[in-house]
Amino acid sequence: MTSYQQVGGKIQIRLSDVPPLQAQLYKMSDDLPALDNPFNGCSGLGTQGMGIPVGNGTVYACWRPNAYIQLRGGGIASDSMGQDSFDNQQGVDNSNGFAYGMWNTSTLTSSATCRVNSSTSNVSFAPISVQELEQGGVRQGTFSVQLECSNAATSGTAQGQTSIGIQASSGAIAAAQQLGLTGSSGSVPFLVSDAYLTDSRLAKGVGISLAHSQTRKPLVFLGENLTDPPGQNTNTGWYPVLEGASNSGASPTPGYTYYLQNYTATLSKIPGLTVTAGKVLATAYVQVRVQ
């Protein structure tokens, strides 16, 4: 936590001081053993303990938190940084802090979909002067995302279909909001540096736009809300997962195929802003989901 109040010599933690948390579940294997660990509190975790869906709508059954925030110091019982929460839960067991979980509030579904196997780690842009940027000059770089899709998956943005999006970092989203760049759906047209608002050494008035290399279709970045209702309106930042993708051949897993998505990132001046010199250090994340 980076903010809190002090009243009468005591620290007061408000809900607004608690950072946002997001939990994601991943299917790791078809043959994980059952883990009947009473200390963990989720009998058969990895099999029926979480409520593995035999059909859509199975209730998530593990009561242990997916994430929690603890207080440290002053003799307060807490876990150490980096400890595995499977075996270390002093914070929860001593009612220390805030717990977040999906027990009895979320349902699991089983749908044919895609996953991201790999993506280009870094995109570098050649140097460009402030003057050239102000005159409309740009620099471009490319990156790729390798997908592995079930042959039964349906590519699209409607309910039950699989979509792909590139999500801006939390710092870039906050900057876009302050600069008035976000769309009505919360999408972000320009990706700026993660620390755009706080680091004076970074370039200002400069952002990265996104396009599909194959279709040349301009794209927007996903904002902070990844749970928008499904639909055909791709202004949210969600796009059909296989739109413009190239088939890379069959996966070793029967019934699955590899695909490659290629994107072009363009560094340019953000319309209406003044460019100042500096570096651009921005982060984005590939997201794939069933709508």
Domain extent listing, the chain: 1-110, 114-290
Q: Strand pairing partners for 6?
A: 11
Q: Are 104 and 59 in contact (CB under 8 A)?
A: yes
Name the class of domain 114-290.
mainly beta
pLDDT at 40: 47
Q: How far is CA 45 from the centre of its chain?
A: 25
| pLDDT of amino acid 278 | 96
Q: What is the pLDDT of residue 1?
A: 67
Return the structure tokens found at 23: 């939990």
What's the whole-model pTM score?
A: 0.75
Q: Give the pairing of strands 218-219 and 256-269.
A: unpaired
Helix, coil or strand: residue 90: helix
Q: Please enumerate, as own/partner, the contacts of 13-19 that have beta carbons within 8 Å and a separation of 24 or more.
A: 18/69, 18/98, 19/69
The pLDDT value given to residue 96: 76
Residue 195 and residue 223: Cα distance in Å, rounded?
A: 16
Q: Measured between alpha carbons, how far apart are the two ends of the chain, in Å?
A: 33
pLDDT of the residue at 192: 96
CB atoms within 10 A of CB 284: 23
Q: Which tokens sit at 169?
A: 């970092």
Residues 182 and 155: their CA atoms lie apart, in Å, by 26
**What is the full per-residue pLDDT of the chain (291 aa) written as tens digits?**
677 788 888 888 777 777 666 666 666 655 555 554 544 446 444 444 555 545 567 777 777 777 777 887 777 888 887 787 767 777 766 677 777 777 777 777 778 899 999 999 899 999 999 999 999 999 999 999 999 999 999 999 988 899 999 999 989 999 999 999 988 788 899 999 999 998 999 999 999 999 999 899 999 999 876 665 555 455 789 999 999 999 999 999 999 999 999 999 999 999 999 999 999 999 999 999 888
